[in-house]
Amino acid sequence: MVTLSHFLNLDLVLRSKSDLTELIAHLDQGVYVLHHQEHEQEFLLVLETTDALDPIVCTEQFLTVIEALPEPAKALWNGCTSRTFSYGSEGGREFPALDITIPADLVLRIAALGAAIGITVYPHGNAGAERKDEPDALS
């Protein structure tokens, strides 16, 4: 079985001392809420784009939505204690290696919004657990 590395998704993870419900109301149809809750006096909002096939397209889609927010929603965005564009991929055991390049213009747009970039590589298979049926699972 061939197990190539591949891009999974791009989540936008926001943390705030303020409720972010009003921000959600201004998101377009290309963005949906994965998680929204308050925990220990902090609000967590995790968003994902509807087009999770290409990291550049997902990034552009998020940036377009965030840059177009009206002032009250921008104030909520600016009030977040953290804003992270979190790129997720699954590691594989075969070549070619996964290569994702975020162009400088998109990095500048992310920086202008005061956001960070996070990268998560998930283990292939069942969360990295050793699989007895595949002797080369760890090689």
Per-residue model confidence as pLDDT tens digits over 89-113: 999 888 888 999 999 999 999 999 9
Would you say how long the chain is, in residues? Answer: 139
Copy the structure tokens of residue 138: 């760890």
Please calculate the CA angle 24-27-32 and round it to the nearest 5 degrees: 80
User: Alpha-carbon distance 6 to 27, whole Å?
Assistant: 27
pTM exceeds 0.75 for this model: yes
Could you tell me which of 77, 88, 90 has the C-alpha nearest to residue 119?
Answer: 88
Q: What is the pLDDT of residues 49-58, one digit of tens each?
A: 887 689 999 9
Look at residue 18 in the predicted model and tell me its pLDDT.
96
Q: What rounded mean pLDDT belongs to the chain?
A: 87
Q: Give yes or no for residue 61 having a pLDDT over 70.
A: yes
In Å, what is the CA distance from 47 to each residue of 5, 20, 24, 124? 23, 12, 9, 24
